[in-house]
Amino acid sequence: MDAVDDAVLLVSELVTNAVVHAGTRTDVTCLRYEGGIQIEVEDRYPARELPLYIPEQDSGHEGGRGLYLSAMVASAWGVDYSRTSKRVWFRLDLPTITDGGTIVASPVGLGRPLPSVTGELRVAVVRADADGRVREWNADAEALFGWAGQQARQLKLGELISWPHRPGGVLTLVDVLQLSRWQGEYGVRHRDGRVVPVFASHVQTLADGDDPSIVCLMVLEEHRSVLEAPAPVRSEAVEVVQPVDPVSAEWAGLSESVTARLGLDELLQRTVERARDSLGGDAAYILLTTEDEGEMEVRATTGLPQNLHRGTRLLAEGSTGRVFSARLPAVHDDLGEGAPAVSLLRGTGMRSLLTVPLMVEGRVIGQLGVASEQPGRFDNEDAIRLQRAADRIALSVESARLAELERIRRGWLSFLAEASDLLAGTLHHEMTLAMVAQLVVPRLATWCAVYTVDETETPRLSYVWHADEEMIDPLRDLLEQAPLPKGPTTPGAARWTCLAEVPDDAVEFPPDVDLRKDHVIALPLVARGHNLGMLVLGRPARDPFHRDVVDLAEDLSRRAALALDNARLYSDRAATSHQLQQSLLPSDLPEVPSVDVGVVYQAAGEGNEVGGDFYDLFAIDGERFGFAIGDVCGKGAGAAAVTGLARHALRILAREGHDVSAVLERLNKEILGEGARARFLTLLYGEIRPRGRGRVELRFASAGHPLPMLLRSNGELDTVGTEQPLLGVLDELDLKVDEVTLRAGDVLVCFTDGVTERRRDRQMLGEDGLARVLADCVSLNAGAVAVRVQRAVVSFAPDAPRDDMAVMVLRATPGDLPVRTPLRSNGSSYQ
């Protein structure tokens, strides 16, 4: 069927589909390019309703044939979507020679003279799968191209075929391999390196399992008449459509509707491939400016070595960089050693270069370059064509680049926010050091070292981390042998070259690894005007730190310094509080005849505040011993002041000969005398008088404090004492003194309200709960009883206790000598 008839049939079907199913205005566009036509049918109904497969057609059904016929008749077809429209397009090859000598296949007419063939005729038969990998390779192919079958089956067609890049060409090798039928000429790379010109005929077939494959028949160029099918005679009635703008034809696959759907990387890769093919070059690249416009970054290449990888950066200014920031097209006929573009193409074999700027609103956002292995390959006409193509694509590139930068910026902001949350979540100095290093690696650097300084500003290596854990020890050895780092004198990152001063044989590295050559930067850790140390980051020299990464590292270093300073302040405060707490507790307990003493003390919280509970046991004279357990209202320095006053006043007053009630009454006056600094105080104070043979007399008074519990050796349990006003409230007190006699095995348990008021949801442990614990403590020594009470309090609820806890246990022993039992505690102190 003639191409015109095919076009009329397909347009009729597609327009019918648009009218019936879309019901909107329909536009039909016909584009003429060298070798074929492309027809587009566009409606205003953008819904994506393509079937997953094309069903078999019923001969009696009148509709639904548009896409089916396009797949059967057209050389290529597709559907493009935008927000407001849907465009169905198809291409038909016209019966003329196309790019690379392409000819529309057609049967040889009867009666035509047979062509003559001279010389040895060999027909190479090659079959490849859908990925282009060779699956079959006959003996004639081996004779023509030198590759044995086993060798050829390890290659792809793209590695064997040398596709001719001709000016004005449209089809690429990738395009040709996707066509159902194709005839044309190209070169095949011989095993000895030369290129053999051939004429080939391709056809798409279905192999086993319905997998598509490509069958290629190839003969030498002089034997092309064996495979070549002459073009049918064009009907004189066909009206020839005038060619469109060459740039529009060459870049038709990158229309605005298409580029709007592509990501930046895919758009750039398609652009360089199209630029190379349209000018017949051997390689092409695209550079884009970085965010600060100080450098240009390689973003896409084709035909260039792998070592010129994506991300390589080049200066946009300077004597060697002006070629990358030029605002006009430039044609370089011969890239000698002194040419400015050699820094990009050195060692690639390229001899000539054509570059054009990508410009948006007068700003250079990048550069598109096409290179050739032949000198003098490009002229001014090529420069004009490539510049027009660059102008056509620049706005789409800039839009995609801005979208990418926005995504990256949001990613960095999210990273900083998460890092801040993690750093703020701990006040442990060592944990903060480890977290800083592991946040940096591998997101910003390959390895990281944190130096801290002591009181003399001497740096010390505190933490080392590497992306490869096997490299941590060699890195630590290297850093320990490097000269002491000297921090930057000004804020911000600075190059750090201390590693280069380490001798070659000082540290043993794995093969092909030498950390001494890494690109290393140092950032000061400064917070609240204090120098805390230095953050040292390293990356391989081939992948140095870029400005945007350095800016992010500087921001992170400031947050890390603040977190380290917070951890330092917290550690200092906790140490101070611990020392103050210890000073408010007795350093050692005296030995009391006939009495086994056990004490447990546990401050609530993280240890950064002084608790309000306290206890004391001291000798009054040779026959009497004083004991006390109390709870000051509140925590911190104010509570510590009252605790210190009470503890020392008790000792002084008792040793001056005052009895129990007089001691408490005078202490009450001292507390009230503190004025605004005064705190309420509950206090249980008493005297111990050993009487020998396991008999101990106790005299005590409770000033607002929980009453002690008495556990007899026979298991009887009772609360003893009289409830009375607490200290620091009333001006005058008249306290009653209670007396209890302990015999061998009897236990008196004194405690603060942190024991009985331990909560689990709305339930409290209470005196009843404590009684149940003590009921199982008959025959236990004093230390075991104290620990049993502590464990019961801690295990009563899943969360940690919120109130301080102090427990003092006095147990009468059978003999006159004291019994001291080693205790252990989960709290801050134990005796």
Q: How far apart are CA 206 and CA 212, in angstroms?
A: 5
Structure confidence at residue 332 (pLDDT):
83
Report, as an integer, the average pLDDT of 462-487: 82
Calculate the average pLDDT of the chain. Answer: 79
Residue 270, SS3 per DSSP: helix
Report, as an integer, the average pLDDT of 685-708: 92
From the list 787, 778, 793, the residue with the least C-alpha distance to 822 is 787
Query: Residue 497 in contact with residue 538, Cβ under 8 Å?
Result: no
Report, as an integer, the average pLDDT of 162-167: 70
DSSP string, 769-816: HHHHHHHT-TT--HHHHHHHHHHHHHHTSSSPPSS-EEEEEEEE-SSS
Report the amino acid identity of residue 542.
R
CATH number for the region 3-93 comes to 3.30.565.10
**Angle made by CA atoms 174, 176, 180, in degrees to the nearest 5:** 125
Q: What is the pLDDT of residues 185-194, one digit of tens each?
A: 899 999 998 9
Q: What is the pLDDT of residues 244-259, one digit of tens each?
A: 444 444 555 555 555 5
Q: Which residue is it, tokens 């102008």? A: 391
Report the amino acid identity of residue 424.
A
Q: How far apart are CA 268 and CA 423, in angstroms?
A: 39
**CA distance between the termini of the chain:** 106
Structure confidence at residue 254 (pLDDT):
57
DSSP string, 394-419: HHHHHHHHHHHHHHHHHHHHHHHHHH
pLDDT band at residue 113 under the 50/70/90 scheme: low
**Angle made by CA atoms 370, 376, 380, in degrees to the nearest 5:** 70
Structure confidence at residue 827 (pLDDT):
43
Cα Rg for the chain, rounded, in angstroms? Answer: 45
pLDDT at 691 over 70: yes
Q: Would strands 124-129 and 212-220 be described as parallel, antiparallel, or unpaired? A: antiparallel
Structure confidence at residue 245 (pLDDT):
46
Burial of 119 (C-beta count, 10 Å sphere; 0-12/13-18/19+): exposed
pLDDT at 13 over 90: no
Neighbours of 578 (CB within 10 A): 16
Would you state the CATH architecture of domain 99-107+117-226?
A: 2-Layer Sandwich (3.30)
582-586, 654-658, 816-820: least confident range: 816-820
304-318, 322-336, 342-356: least confident range: 304-318
Structure confidence at residue 700 (pLDDT):
95
pLDDT band at residue 533 under the 50/70/90 scheme: confident
CA diameter of the chain: 144
Q: What is the pLDDT of residues 631-665, one digit of tens each?
A: 888 776 667 778 878 888 898 999 998 999 999 99
Query: Residue 288 in contact with residue 364, Cβ under 8 Å?
Result: no
Structure confidence at residue 216 (pLDDT):
93
Neighbours of 822 (CB within 10 A): 8
Structure confidence at residue 755 (pLDDT):
92
Pair of tokens at residue 491: 């804020």
Which run of H or E residues covers position 24? none
Task: Tell me the backbone φ, ψ of residue 324, rounded to 5 degrees.
Answer: -90, -15
Instruction: Identify the DSSP state of 591.
Output: P
Q: Which residue is it, tokens 């060779």? A: 134
pLDDT band at residue 606 under the 50/70/90 scheme: low
Neighbours of 450 (CB within 10 A): 24
Query: Residue 2 in contact with residue 73, Cβ under 8 Å?
Result: no
Query: Residue 161 in contact with residue 202, Cβ under 8 Å?
Result: no
Structure confidence at residue 469 (pLDDT):
85
Edge-first strand order for the sheet with 447-453 is: 459-466, 447-453, 530-539, 519-527, 494-495
Q: How far from 446 is each of 314, 478, 549, 724, CA to CA, in Å?
A: 22, 15, 12, 69
Q: How far from 122 is each of 201, 224, 229, 653, CA to CA, in Å?
A: 14, 11, 18, 122
Structure confidence at residue 777 (pLDDT):
92
Q: Which residue is it, tokens 């750093």? A: 423
Structure confidence at residue 771 (pLDDT):
93
Structure confidence at residue 232 (pLDDT):
45
Structure confidence at residue 166 (pLDDT):
58
Pair of tokens at residue 296: 């240009």
Task: Tell me the backbone φ, ψ of residue 187, rounded to 5 degrees.
Answer: -115, 150
Structure confidence at residue 627 (pLDDT):
95
| Residue 100 Ramachandran class (φ > 0 left, ψ -120 to 50 alpha, else beta) | left
Residues in the chain, total: 831
| Neighbouring-strand partners of residue 829 | 601
Residue 366, SS3 per DSSP: strand
Buried b (16+ CB within 10 A) or exposed e, 152-180: beebebeebbbbbbebebbbbbebbbbbb
Q: How far apart are CA 176 and CA 166, in angstroms?
A: 15
Burial of 316 (C-beta count, 10 Å sphere; 0-12/13-18/19+): buried
Report, as an integer, the average pLDDT of 723-730: 89
Pair of tokens at residue 248: 């529009």
pLDDT at 264 over 60: yes
Q: What is the pLDDT of residues 496-516, one digit of tens each?
A: 878 877 887 777 777 777 787
Report, as an integer, the average pLDDT of 351-362: 87
Beta strands in 221-375 (DSSP E): 283-289, 295-302, 313-315, 330-332, 352-360, 363-372
pLDDT at 675 over 80: no
Find which of 135-149, 297-311, 444-458, 570-584 is predicted with most confidence, using mean pLDDT: 135-149
Structure confidence at residue 207 (pLDDT):
65
**Angle made by CA atoms 809, 813, 819, in degrees to the nearest 5:** 75
How much of the chain is in helix, strand and coil states, percent to nearest 5? 35, 25, 40
Q: Which CATH class is domain 586-830?
A: alpha beta
Q: What is the pLDDT of residues 65-106, one digit of tens each?
A: 566 677 667 778 878 777 777 888 888 887 644 344 444 333
The answer to whether the 425-578 and 586-830 domains have the same CATH topology is no
Q: Which residue is it, tokens 């007396």? A: 739
Edge-first strand order for the sheet with 161-162 is: 134-137, 124-129, 212-220, 195-206, 181-189, 161-162
pLDDT at 167 over 60: no
Q: What is the pLDDT of residues 211-231, one digit of tens each?
A: 788 899 999 988 888 888 765
**Domain 260-407, CATH 3.40.630.30 — does that match?**
no
Structure confidence at residue 210 (pLDDT):
63
Q: Which has more pLDDT, 419 or 46?
A: 419
Give the domain ranges of the chain.
Answer: 3-93, 99-107+117-226, 260-407, 425-578, 586-830
Q: How far apart are CA 453 and CA 456, in angstroms?
A: 7
Which residues, including other chains, have CB under 8 Å from residue 349's CB and lie 6 or more apart? 373
Structure confidence at residue 258 (pLDDT):
55
CATH number for the region 425-578 comes to 3.30.450.40
Residue 695, SS3 per DSSP: strand
Query: Residue 80 in contact with residue 252, Cβ under 8 Å?
Result: no
Q: How far apart are CA 436 and CA 472, in angstroms?
A: 16
Q: What is the pLDDT of residues 745-781, one digit of tens each?
A: 999 999 999 899 999 988 999 999 999 999 999 989 9
